[in-house]
Amino acid sequence: MDKKTKLSLLSDLIALARTSEGINEIEYDFLVIVARQLGITEAELEELSTKKAEKIIISSEAQRILHFHRLVLLMNIDQHADNRELLIVKNFGLKMGLSQDAIDKVLKIMGNYPNKVVPPEVLINIFKTQHN
C-alpha cells in the first residue's frame, strides 16, 4: 500500500475520532499505534490533524475490511459510541463498497463482545458469508 493510501486511511480515523468531543488521549494513542503499523511517523500524523489527506479508495477488499475493523475499534475504544459515530462508521463502510448487511451485522453484534471488540475472525466470517 502506498503512502498516499496510508495517509488517507489515517485521515478517515482522525475524522471519526473528531466526531465526539475531539480526540481524547486513548483515541490519540490508538491513532499513533495504527500510524506506526502503517509506517507513518507521529509528525506526519500530527500534520494530518490540520491538513486532511487526499481521499484514496482502497482496491483490496481485505484492506477495506481491515480499515472498517479499525474504524469500529476506534469508535468503541472510549467505551462510548453514540448514534452519530455509528452512522459515520456505517457510511465509511458503504463508501468503501462493503456489504450493507455485513456492516449492519458487525455493528449489531459488537455489543456481544467484551469492550465491543469484534474478534477479527468473526468480522472476516461475517463479510465472507455475505459473499456467498
Task: Kindly report, residue by residue over 78-99, the tens digit of the pLDDT.
Answer: 877 788 999 999 999 999 999 9
Q: Does the pLDDT at position 132 exceed 70?
A: no
Q: How confident is the model at residue 131 (pLDDT cuts 50, 70, 90)?
A: low
3-state secondary structure the chain: CCHHHHHHHHHHHHHHHCCCCCCCHHHHHHHHHHHHHHCCCHHHHHHHHHCCCCCCCCCCHHHHHHHHHHHHHHHHCCCCCCHHHHHHHHHHHHHCCCCHHHHHHHHHHHHHCHHHCCCHHHHHHHHHHHHC
Domain total for the chain? 1
| Residues of the domain holding 78 | 3-131
Q: Does the pLDDT at position 126 exceed 90?
A: yes
